[in-house]
Amino acid sequence: MNNIVAIVGRPNVGKSTFFNRLIQRREAIVDSVSGVTRDRNYGKSEWNGKEFSVIDTGGYIKGSDDIFEAEIRRQVELAIDEADAIIFMVDVEEGITPMDAEVAKLLRKVTKPILIAVNKVDNAMREKDAIEFYNLGLGEYFTIAGMNGSGTGELLDKLVEVLPELPDAVEEEEPLPRFCVVGRPNAGKSSFINALIGEDRFVVTDIAGTTRDAIDTRYNRFGFEFNLVDTAGIRRKAKVKEDLEFYSVMRSVRAIEHSDVCILMIDATRGFEGQDQSIFWLAEKNRKGIVILVNKWDLVEKDTMSTRDYEAKIRKELEPFTDVPILFVSALTKQRLLKALETAVEVFENRKQRISTSKFNETMLPIIERTPPPALKGKYVKIKYCMQLPTPTPQFVFFANLPQYVKDPYKRFLENQLRQIYNFTGVPIDIYFRQK
């Protein structure tokens, strides 16, 4: 499980540039992930061997330049509640603005580690100007230039030093699978769990955000045993009418990172909204198994929209990762709830399946021979050998003479073939090409 670091500050101080720098540092090590990254506000970073999740609060504000201070205040409050450390970014060119002072006032009440990053300091003159930020009353500051990265090393050294130690996960003989139920507020997550458990373990109300923290329930019925996690909705103080995307995503981060399968509940009466998509891509990016449940199906006028049309519409939004189970359920009438659980168990099994190297070569090499990668600049790519990597999630490597010439469309072709032959429904797959 990772620490969460939130980057806060008013608009246009360079939060996103700095955020991208942190994320790229991580992705340069790992490998670029196929498919489009839809969600620019969350990522993982690593420094000095310590991994942490980063949230850029800035990307969530929607509105014009005169952004409402109330919106920023809410984001800072949420970051204070949810993050383990906070980077407060300010801009040396503009000095301390009233909005910076307002954010600092909120942060002074907090006991969590807070680091001030004074951005756009790219010469000695500005280094002197930065001294005024001592007046924020938050202690020492770090001068950085987000564009070229100078100064970020010292800031990150300090960050990993002050991040709290996380408790080690308790090792069980064979840890139980963790299924987390995620979704926008009021999609029916707690009702779903109550219906399964057959007792009102969670308070269910119509106020979005009654569930305050992720709660674990050990579930053992009908031959299934696993931990069922009801993720936090949103604290009541975030007004229901306002745009809640930032809050539900931030709340879901921890639960998703720490689970095996995510059961994403969407409200049939509202459709598959931007917020649902953000949570979906968050689970996909973390390589978790995914099951989508369209809840409250009993409330939808069936003549206007059949399950087939509704499903097609959702799959269109999920491209290129469309091999995901979608079930239509009702937590109220308990319709198809056990089917939903069975599907989650199947996805869990799919995610941990291992294919022997000989069998994998036997099935994939003839396909590659029939449909080789397109030649590029007159060079022909030859793939001679492939295998599944011994990783916790399905990853496959293909050894080729010219791996750099294999483009994304061909990777997707191979992924589709793989999915047709082996059952990886609901599970993101990584495909790599390496020099043989």
Binding residue numbers for GTP: 9-16, 56-60, 119-122, 183-190, 230-234, 295-298
The tokens describing 427, both together, are 């599970």
- Give the CB-side neighbour count of residue 420, counting CA atoms within 13 A: 9
E strand or H helix at 75, and its extent? helix 69-82
Contact 167, 137 (CB under 8 A): no
How is 274-307 classified by DSSP, letter by letter? Answer: HHHHHHHHHHHHTT-EEEEEEE-GGGS-TTT--H
CA distance 254 to 238: 19
Q: DSSP letters of 114-132?
A: EEEEEE---SHHHHHHGGG
CB crowding 389-416: b at 16 or more within 10 Å, else e: eeeebbbbbbbbebbebbeeebbeebbe
Residue with tokens 């090393």: 153
Cα gap 311→300, rounded to integer Å:
14
Annotated binding site: 9-16, 56-60, 119-122, 183-190, 230-234, 295-298
CA distance 283 to 277: 10
Biggest distance spanned by C-alpha atoms of the chain: 70
Closest to 43 (Cα-Cα) out of 253, 358, 309: 253
- Cα Rg of the chain (Å, integer): 24
CA 427 centroid distance within chain = 15
- Cβ-in-10-Å burial (0-12, 13-18, 19+) of 9 comes to buried
